[in-house]
Structure 1
């Protein structure tokens, strides 16, 4: 760290010199304009970029030696999350159909990227979404609504064994994944662009906390899918009413934890977040009741019901984690 003393000129202007090596490395000359951005922690960012536009970053993949579609898909997702605005996929030979299918799946599973150029041996993807058009809170609200309804429908699947509804719950998990990847992408972009952080009126700590909560909601959605997967494995025939009621009770507690954790997040209520964490114990007891009742069933039924109870419990515990993150974020401003 270089220490430089502040000078006062004209009786009212505070002046500090810039490091010569830094100025020369950026080719800064006399009378060049520089941007000054006040950071949430009080530090001052000096930047040559005063356009306040999103930085354009390009990534190129040569898929000549990539023969695993799943690997290519993961590379594309990683590039998307990293914040690349242009992705080019090339090959020394004609692009195989499997690669084009991966590209199609990628554009359907993400928000923003579209194919803007295509030839026999290359495909160019361009991100058409302005990060400012998708505020973090709107994304979190949408994820919350989708996941909550997934759990409500999972309970219906258990009661009705409706295969179409089970398929729909699983399909909606893709929407949750897309939104979680979007939050991850915006987080990376903002951490690399202080101007964008200022324009979106979000601090670095808020961005990171929002990403953590988004990731937790995505995991809660995964357990809704596991619930319906285990409901599909149950043998034909109705379950005893006391078992159904036990699952309904545990699911209600779990959803209540989820509701209250999200409310405490949006209302910045640190005390309600703390109260919510204290309710996790009641959920654990309700899930133990399901396990005890499941012991009287046939082995296949018992295993599926215990797995359902585990998913309900994990969802509630993840909701408690959201409340913990709310406390961790708010502790500086509320206490």
Structure 2
């Protein structure tokens, strides 16, 4: 760490010299105005230029050696979350149909990623979303609403014996994933753009809490998919009313935990968050009762009942994790 002396000039101003190497590397000119921000911890942040003037941050994938389109898709998602503003996919010859499909799937499953150029051997994707237009809270609230409808509709599908509704629940999880990736991207962008927290009206610590909450919500959504994927077995075999009633009651309890956690998040109520965590014990006893009923069944019915019971319990536990994150945030603040 380098130390520089504070000097007084003009009787009322204090100055400190900037490192020559940094000035040259940032191409800062004489008399150029530099933004200065006071941070929450009292430190000063000197920015070389406004975020609007920053160059595009690009990532390129040369796919001649990539034969697995799933692998490419995962790399594209990683680039998106890392915050790249442009992604190039190129090949020495033609891009294969499988690679093109992976790129298009990525574009359709992410928010703000648009294919802007395309040839036989090249595709360019650019980020057209202004991060400040999608505050963390908006994304979290949307994830919460989608997940709530997934679980409610899962139990409706069980009661109405509607496998088509169960299939629709599985498709809805894509929206939850898209929002979670967006939250992850914005969180990581904060470490490259020091002005972004102010634009999003959130501290870096607050963004970290939202990121943690989004991970829990995404996992709750995954368990909703797991429940929906096993419902056709129960519908097809006409599972008895006792099992269905137990699942309905347990799902209602799990969603009550989630509702309470989200209420605590938006109200910053530490007492409510603590009470919510204690609700998991009752849910565990309810899901244990459902699992006991599974032992009375055989084959795929028994397995499906057991998997659904476990996923309902896990949904409640991940909801309680949100309350734990809220307590940690409130104590820190």
Distance 1:119 1:28 in 2: 38
Shift in Å, 1:236:
3.2
Query: Which residue of the partner structure matches residue 63 of structure 1?
Result: 63
Conservation of the 8 A alpha-carbon contact between 2:64 and 2:91: yes
Q: Deviations over 1:230-276 (max 9, x none)?
A: 11223734333222221111111100000011111111111111110
Shift in Å, 1:214:
0.6
RMSD: 1.6
Query: Which residue of the partner structure matches residue 212 of structure 1?
Result: 212
Query: Which residue of the partner structure matches residue 122 of structure 2?
Result: 122
Residue 134, structure 1, aligned to residue 134, structure 2: yes
Distance 2:92 2:136 in 1: 40
- What SS does structure 1 have at the residue aligned with 2:46? strand
How many pairs align?
333
Distance 2:146 2:115 in 1: 28
Query: Which residue of the partner structure matches residue 201 of structure 1?
Result: 201
Distance 2:211 2:151 in 1: 22
Shift in Å, 1:170:
0.3
Conservation of the 8 A alpha-carbon contact between 1:132 and 1:200: yes
Question: Could you state the TM-score of these two structures normalised by the residue count of structure 2?
Answer: 0.95
- What SS does structure 2 have at the residue aligned with 1:92? coil
Q: Deviations over 1:274-324 (max 9, x none)?
A: 110011111101111111222222343222111111000000000000000
- What SS does structure 2 have at the residue aligned with 1:234? helix
Conservation of the 8 A alpha-carbon contact between 1:52 and 1:195: no
Query: Which residue of the partner structure matches residue 38 of structure 1?
Result: 38
**CA distance 1:192–1:240, change in 2 (3 Å):** same
Structure 1 segments unaligned to the other structure (5+ residues): none
Conservation of the 8 A alpha-carbon contact between 2:109 and 2:174: yes
Query: Which residue of the partner structure matches residue 12 of structure 1?
Result: 12
Distance 2:232 2:255 in 1: 22
Distance 1:297 1:171 in 2: 29
Conservation of the 8 A alpha-carbon contact between 1:158 and 1:228: no
**CA distance 1:313–1:26, change in 2 (3 Å):** same
Instruction: Compare 158-167 and 267-276 and name the one that shifted more.
Output: 158-167
Conservation of the 8 A alpha-carbon contact between 1:265 and 1:323: yes
Superposition pairs of residues 172-321 of structure 1, within 5 angstroms? 172-234=172-234, 236-321=236-321
Distance 1:15 1:47 in 2: 16
Shift in Å, 1:229:
1.2
